[in-house]
Amino acid sequence: MKNIYFLVIISLIFVSHSSFGQKIFKDSLQNDVNQVTEKLITKYGDENAERIVRGVRHLSNLWFEENGSGSEFQEFCIKQFIPTGPQLDNALNISEQQFSAINGYQRELSLALDYPLVTMTRPITELDRFFSDSKITIDFFKSKLALAIALNFPYYTNEEKEELGAGWSRKKWAMVRLGDKFEFRSDPDLEQDPTPIPDELRDYTTRYILSMDHVVSPELEVLFPEGTRLNSHNGLRDEIKGLYYRDNPLEKQRVISRIVMHIIDQTIPECMVGETSYYWEPIANKVYLKEGEKLVETDFKAEPDNRYKVLHHNMLSKMRQDAKYPEGSTYLTRTFKNGQLSEEKIVSLLESVLSAAEKKAVASLIEKKIGRKLEPFDIWYTGFSDNTNYKMDELDQLIREKYPTPMAFQQDLPNILKRIGFPDFEAEFLGNHVVVDPIPSGGHANGPQMKGAKAHLRIRFEKDGLDYKNYRVGMHEIGHTIQQNVGTYMSDYYLLKGIPGSPYTEAMADLIAYRNLIALGINQEYSAQEKQNNALAAFWFVCEMGSEALHEIRVWHWLYDHPDATVEELKATTITIAKDIWNQYFADIFGVRDVPILAIYNHFISGALYLHSYPIGNIVVMQLEEQFEGKDFATEMIRTCKIGKLTPDLWMIEATGEPLSAKPLLSAMRNALEVYK
């Protein structure tokens, strides 16, 4: 019976794992794999059989010729296998402690080396870049630590985790996540040498900042206050969003929208990127120089497709790395596998929202609110979820006075958390474990990797302080830091700290961002009206961001189908796909076809294949909002952050009782529409 059981398990594991691992003298190891598996089962009994079979098979996929012969492979297995029980529990505890130290100190060193480049608080030198590139790495395979962990904490596929994970204890889950650390070993002979990006394109998106006080109307009037600087895409998009709350916004919104189109088409004057002495009228795309008090038209050169050179380089660089993975593995497949959400499920969720019949009703409601027909930039409309009793200038002034410096914002974080409902102890603890850093644009949070460390929250501060636009970004990032600090300091297992994937951490961030006016003390509670407005805002955002995510996915598929495509061909296809998706989902609502606005996002230019995280995150948000209804917000927030790194569906079942679904978002949107009727 033991031999039959052994042979069946061997065949199952071989099938499930044949899709990954290096082809390193594998055939010559097969007899040794079978022999040592049987020896270990004989020695340790059937209660260890499943772990032995999985562990030995997985180790054979990671065992290179440099590690030794077949007999040495057997010796390693016999010597290093740890039977289930106190010894294995102790090995788990040791691994948790040591990986906490390794990850923690590597992160602290990385923070220090990267600080000048990330914050740009002083001019960056080549020496800064050399320091940033001088990261310390540890070869866990050379030390054989990875091999010992692979043997004792075997790997499970995502499908197996979904099927079996509901019955696993927290300790079992921690052991599985430890096994995930060494799922794959790359063959150095197959490593592709990196293709360096030209110096002039390094930090391309970071440095893509426009001097808006040099942008003029067709009547040659300067449109924006002196010192206004906006980056593409975040700054331009967020300025359009903020203008809905200012007087007479339409002319400025149209001009910014035209700038966006020039960037996508690469018809933007090259002289207008960065600090400039030129003036630009984007509607007619004319450039001027100032002679005395008069603007005189002058010739200019358009930006030479730099945007698509960066995209082309970033995508091909990631595709080149496919060579070191098993046949059939691509950056596309690995991205979705690592996120534990299949491309098919992500696309299905997004299309279920984009295809909702109520999209037209939401668009009509926006038209009523803004008092005109929709224009393409209204895809970024954000007037549902913010307080219309305050004009943007008033909010800007209030926040600048409150937060003139990063330190002022940092010191108020505990009070912000108290105002949105966190008890004193949790608010003080979580708020005091955050450092606020200034950055040129956007926002992000860098989480601690060991106890004693702090999260770093990074947002843009203008010269006179934090404005509302960046404050709201900061509130989103506070949500990230809560999830990060709860995971680091309150998880029962270090290896489970975190979240199933990027959409879930984006959801946690938005739960806090939704409460930004409560955090300011403007609103006293999260009212039913706010919830309804946020449901409409989330739906409209998923329509916008979901279409951009589909655009990114389709461009990736196209380049894999056309790997020899030129920069010019990639540019043309990127714009065409953006127009096609616009025509599919928005042309009938906006009354205009062939709009390429969906191609503007810098995350897309980075080649990160990350955009789907944002709309899926909003789908997660509304499912959590439904769960939080009638419960204490802070208690539920901390509880869900402590669930940790299960699979996305199992995490959602533990958080809300149901698998991930767009139904709560669609239901909340429909209920909100009923209220507006």
pLDDT tens-digit map of 499-510: 999 999 999 999
Q: What is the pLDDT of residue 387?
A: 56
Q: What is the pLDDT of residue 393?
A: 83
SS (H, E, C) 199-255: HHHCCCCCCCEEEHHHEECCCCCECCCCCCEEECCHHHHHHHHHHCCCCCCHHHHHH
> Which has the minimum average pLDDT: 113-127, 414-428, 613-627?
113-127
* Mean confidence (pLDDT) of the chain: 92
Give the span between the Cα atoms of 441 and 439, in whole angstroms.
6
Q: What is the pLDDT of residue 391?
A: 75
Q: What is the pLDDT of residue 18?
A: 39
Q: What is the pLDDT of residue 25?
A: 64
Mean pLDDT of the region 284-290: 97
pLDDT tens digits for 10-40?
Answer: 444 444 443 343 454 677 899 999 999 999 9
- Of the candidates 251, 186, 208, 175, the one whose C-alpha atom is nearest the C-alpha of residue 442 is 208
- DSSP H/E element including 516: helix 516-520
- Of the candidates 173, 37, 31, 192, the one whose C-alpha atom is nearest the C-alpha of residue 92 is 173
- Give the residue ranges of DSSP H helices in 23-169: 26-44, 49-62, 70-80, 86-119, 126-132, 145-152, 158-164
Mean pLDDT of the region 360-380: 97
294 backbone dihedrals φ, ψ, rounded to 5°: -110, 140
- Of the candidates 531, 529, 512, 515, the one whose C-alpha atom is nearest the C-alpha of residue 617 is 512
Q: What is the pLDDT of residue 386?
A: 53
Task: Give me the percent of the chain exceeding a pLDDT of 90.
Answer: 82
C-alpha to C-alpha distances, 129 to 112, 209, 439, nearest whole angstrom: 12, 21, 17
Q: What is the pLDDT of residue 372?
A: 97
Q: What is the pLDDT of residue 11?
A: 43
Q: Give residue 604's region: left, alpha or beta (phi > 0; psi -120 to 50).
A: alpha
pLDDT tens digits for 455-481?
Answer: 999 999 988 999 998 999 999 999 999
Give the span between the Cα atoms of 107 and 135, in whole angstroms.
10
pLDDT tens digits for 177-222?
Answer: 999 999 988 877 777 777 788 878 888 888 899 999 999 999 999 9
pLDDT tens digits for 331-346?
Answer: 999 999 999 999 999 9
More confident residue, 204 or 414: 414
Is residue 59 very low, low, confident or very high in pLDDT (cuts 50, 70, 90)?
very high
Mean pLDDT of the region 525-537: 91
Mean pLDDT of the region 381-392: 72
Mean pLDDT of the region 541-567: 98
- Cα 481 to chain centroid distance, Å, stands at 14
Give the span between the Cα atoms of 628 and 619, in whole angstroms.
14
Give the span between the Cα atoms of 19 and 130, in whole angstroms.
38
Query: Is residue 49 over pLDDT 80?
Result: yes
pTM of the model: 0.89
Give the span between the Cα atoms of 439 and 323, in whole angstroms.
36
Q: What is the pLDDT of residue 383?
A: 85
Mean pLDDT of the region 544-559: 98
> Which has the minimum average pLDDT: 5-14, 207-216, 253-262, 431-440?
5-14
Query: Is residue 309 over pLDDT 70?
Result: yes
pLDDT tens digits for 311-326?
Answer: 999 999 999 999 888 8
